[in-house]
Amino acid sequence: MKTAFVFPGQGSQAVGMGKNLFENLEPVKNIYDIASEALGYDVAYMSFNGPTEELNKTFRTQPCLLTASIAAHVALAGMGIMPDAVAGHSLGEYSALVAAGSMAFRDAVKITEQRGLIMQDAVPEGKGLMAAILGIDRKTLDDICNSVSSGYVAAANYNCPGQIVISGEKAAVEEAMAKAKEAGAKRALPLAVSVPSHSRLMQEAGAKFSKVLDSANIRDASVSFVNNTDARIISDAAEIKDSLVRQMSQSVLWEDCVSTLIASGVSAFVEVGPGKVLSGLIKRIDGNVKIFNVENMESLEKTASELGSLK
């Protein structure tokens, strides 16, 4: 049985994430020490105590969520559970690449902090918007985005059948939301984010971020890594770097990533890190695969036991 580890992206963070594993496992404490030393502040304190407003600042969220995810990965590794393949949703790609041996954890926390700062400064407050559109198919929504007259809007995340996130200029996103409702969408919900991620409004940010990655030590992946922008298995370091830059301004093909993993023989998915957002999406993409999650000792032990019984 092939197992994929999948890592959550921004939006899965919460004050208290990782605390239970930290209190129980020495290797997890070491992970938080490395992150704190790399970033120059107490990542454990920030993650466990917040406040929420500070943790939700993009340049804090990104390295803190990465740290919580790698803490869960280290906990699994301590029980001898390793993935056959990895993928991550947006920011989660960095956790996936650490798990695949393509990036050192210490480097990844610094890279994600820089990514957060660049994203935060990319588009003036109030100019961009993202929205979740529920209950409409991909082609219909793509056609709607192409028909909008008040500016630029495009699909940012193809999450699962019936759940797509759009991103772009505020007026254009609002027009697309109204048109989607007219076309039969069940809901169109603006998201509480100020950065229009995964849209061409982030191209300049991607160019700046490319310079950050130029000085990073990115290696070939030693585990199958499925990338967001193409939903294909890649391992070459140069290709990974190019993919991470493109991911800033291109759509996250999450539904396709999961399908690629299943086509490669994966039949069990473990969401590694806070929350169960990806577990819910995977369930809607394919109801036949086994889905687990690890975010604390209870879920770690349950997952280890159930995976062991499937071997």
Active-site residue numbers? 90, 198
Three-state DSSP at 121 gives coil
Measuring CA to CA, which residue among 166, 163, 134, 137 is closest to residue 153? 166
Asked whether the beta carbons of 310 and 48 are under 8 A apart, the reply is no
Percent of residues in the chain assigned helix, strand, coil, to nearest 5: 50, 15, 30
Distances (CA, A) of 185 to 166, 198, 278: 13, 22, 22
Beta-strand runs (E) in 60-211: 85-88, 128-134, 153-160, 163-169, 187-190
Return d(Cα 64, Cα 69) in angstroms, integer: 9
Angle ∠(126,159,105) on CA atoms, nearest 5:
80
Half-sphere exposure of 213 (CA within 13 A, CB side): 26
Tokens of 240: 């990974």
Beta bridge partners of 259: none
Contact of 305 with 76, CB cutoff 8 Å: no
